[in-house]
Amino acid sequence: MSTEIELSIYVFILAGFLGLELVQRVSPLLHSPLMSLTNAISAISVVGAILITGSGEATVLSKVLGVVAVTFSTINIVAGFLITDRMLKMFRKEGKKETK
């Protein structure tokens, strides 16, 4: 059991360093696509949190943390889409109409 926890912590730390390195090397022109990618990652977090929260054998702590994860990930997704939309509006020409 402890080797699983150690492996999980090791993967988490490596993923943190890799993510930090990738984000620092992104060109400013690519921030809008990067924001869309982080929205997709948050969507995966929402699905995982829903699965954990809805699990029958989940403890009370797991359910509380699952609800918190769903809430924060949903806020992150909505805010990310709003920011991406606002950034894309900055690049539209003023004479063009918006299409929906």
Contact (Cβ atoms closer than 8 angstroms) between residue 76 and residue 42: yes
Phi-psi category of residue 59: left, alpha or beta, with phi > 0 → left and psi -120 to 50 → alpha: beta
Of the candidates 95, 47, 36, 37, the residue with the CA atom closest to the CA atom of residue 69 = 47
Per-residue pLDDT of the chain (100 residues; tens, 9 = 90+): 678 788 888 888 888 888 778 777 766 666 666 666 777 777 888 888 888 888 888 888 888 988 898 898 888 888 878 877 887 787 777 766 666 6
Write down the pLDDT at residue 29: 62
Distances (CA, A) of 43 to 7, 28, 71: 24, 24, 11
Write down the pLDDT at residue 96: 64
Contact (Cβ atoms closer than 8 angstroms) between residue 83 and residue 39: no
Write down the pLDDT at residue 99: 61
Domain boundaries, the chain: 28-90
CA distance 59 to 44: 22
Type of residue numbered 85: D
CA distance 42 to 85: 17
Type of residue numbered 86: R
Write down the pLDDT at residue 49: 84
